[in-house]
Structure 1
Amino acid sequence: MTRTRRLNCIIPPHLLEKLLRSDDSEVHQAALGTLLTTAGLRGERSVRASFAGAAAPANGRRTIFDCQNGRSLPLAVLARSEDGPPSADDSVNRAFDGLGTTHDFYREVFGRDSIDDRGMRLDGHVHFSANYNNAFWDGREMVFGDGDGKVFTDFTQSPDVIGHELTHGVTEHTAGLAYHNQSGALNESISDVFGSLAKQWSLKQSAEEADWLIGPEVFTPGVEADALRSLKAPGQAYDNALFGKDPQPDHMSKFVNLPDTDRGDNGGVHINSGIPNKAFYLTAVGIGGFAWEAAGLIWYESLKASSVETQFQNFADTTYQKAEELFGAGGNEQLAVLGAWQEVGIQISGVPAGVSRARSRASNRAGGAGRQDGLAELTKQIGMLTSQVTALAKDVAALKGKK
């Protein structure tokens, strides 16, 4: 069965629709042009997708093409290749370096051989269309717009945007998370998580040092906004007259139900991704150190173990199981996962709620020996609760046998 692939854009439709209402005619026209161009690309998608994966393995070789503000990718001119010298065009060099950073991150941290784990070549296209306010992954290549210069800048300037978009390719070649509703929001969240991790890895930042922002460089200086999204504080990336307030929720009680249409953001995939984003952030800071080493590994292995229609609950349960497989039952890593999902309103299946509450109390203790004592106490409580559940199951079985 062939899955329908969708264009994965970094800028969600609700932001572009806000710009359509702008009194500035240039801002309005740029937003309208971006929406119309993107809609046209979706029509070409089914044709282009049929050739995806046809190329032979190429050891992750990078090639950057210049669209020269045109909309035809096949007509773009070669601007820089793996063996060629740096370009005089900063956009070309930033795209080339960003693709390389993301490729090296996946190879060195997870042992992954490019996007498809088979050495897939990495193609990038810069200067796409005129005043194009977006960047996207189309299943074969990464495409960058220059922005309109008033609201958005050149999208090659944001390394986490590049990591985000290429991670859509990783997801496509692993779980293949369907791009709608919860599975689509999880798809977007995975891209935010690994886009941020690739940047953190390149800067050698700990979980505490990282900014946890996606796209802080995409806005012009005149726009009051921290970034497109914040994993640390979903719903607080921006709040201004141009865009309104960041609509991302950070808890299941605030889940936003939207139509599964292009205008409805395919069921709110860029909005509800705030919930699993927050869970990852809490897991990473709960474990501490470099986020890609433990939290990132748990999420990566959970992605590979997921499937097309995986929901938030399924993924949360998988991360809990993977934390145990990778780092041991009742360890700090598994407890961090447990507490993080509970804080965003998702209870791990089969784990009594009291264990999550106990984990939260332990995490609030002082560091060092006090923290270790809290974890030891919590591990003991998990063992006791597990024994109680086992005994109860035996009692139920015995009662059934007497009938």
Structure 2
Amino acid sequence: MLSFSTISGQQLYQPRIIIGVTYAMFFLPYSGTSIPAYIIALLFLVVNLAHLRFKAIDAVILSVILVWFILKCQQSSLASAVTLLRYYFGFYIFYLFFNNLSFKLNFEKLLFWISVVVIIEAFLINTILPPNLLPNYPKNEMVEDAFKTQILGFYQRPYSIGTNSSITSTILVLLLFCIEEYKQKSGLKIPRKLLAIATFAVVILGSGVGYILYLLYLIYRINPFKNILRTIISISAVLVVYVLLFVVDIGAAGGLDKISNVYMSFLFDFKAAQIDDTLTAFKSDVSFWLIGQKFDDPKDLIIWSDFAWENLFYCTGLIGFITTIIIFVVKTNRFNLIPLIIFALGAIHYGAMYSLPGQLLLGYLFAKSYTNFVKEYVKKNSRKSALRVIEA
């Protein structure tokens, strides 16, 4: 059965069962595949095709993506083209999915359960459970420990729902930003227990990107430009972190190589080399500039690599890269601006927004459902906050 509701004049459709299924999608990486999530979203869109509502820009963007896909199928193998379509543009399926649902994603519950799962996984893989037995870890039959990353010589980082520590930590911090955004607008604060468990999860993920994004969250949390004192504190905190990382180099001293000066310098040089390699490769064929590099085998695809923006350009060319930028520009508003910036910053390293949980969140942030949720939450809770002040 479908239930109908009207939000801001738009009729949306929400099957009851789809709520539980949607939350379950975030944890699908633990099954070793994300395919069921795309099948569910596509089936929903097909079944409700007659009721779907498109803006003109949505139809144009979808058409451009389909044209790119057709051209890519002619250039590369079908399997490669389908994989690239799902990886780099799968979020648009979830945007259409959420945009046609009166769905209110509970960020606080989602953040809590993801954090709990991260902590449980970290405990298990560092005690009784070999990581290579979990489906969310990459497998290498030739070298058993090829993908094993340890901190201080003994601690194995959990990969969790992002199938990568950096991706999972980016998603956790992004959820913190989302919650902080609508809490601040409502005059409320994020629950201390939730902040504590999420912070602990980010710490044990051991990702340098996660730590940097979390620092940005802490600065954002204190509203740094509210007054001079907060501005001074925020700037001082950034300077202290800079000195600790690049002058004192605490990462090297403590064995935390992911935040060491050497590692940061390596990343900068490595990413510069990746850009040079792409520009050199594209000189051999003008079509590469339009639709990206040719791939005859899906095994050769550059996905899940550590420079998502460069990988996007390398695999999809100017059409894919510019289309992605346009989507971000036209779908950004005052309600989703901060979370989208976090996604974009995180993609300078690993692309959290291209993982299944990241695509789900990105699609939801773009959708009207998210904007309506924030508006209703702020309106409802601002009124409650005002009443509490009056009563006090």
Please classify the TM superposition score into its range, dividing by the shorter chain length: under 0.3
More helix by share: 2
- Per the normalisation by structure 1, the TM-score is 0.26
The higher relative CO (CA closer than 8 Å, separation ≥ 6) is in 2
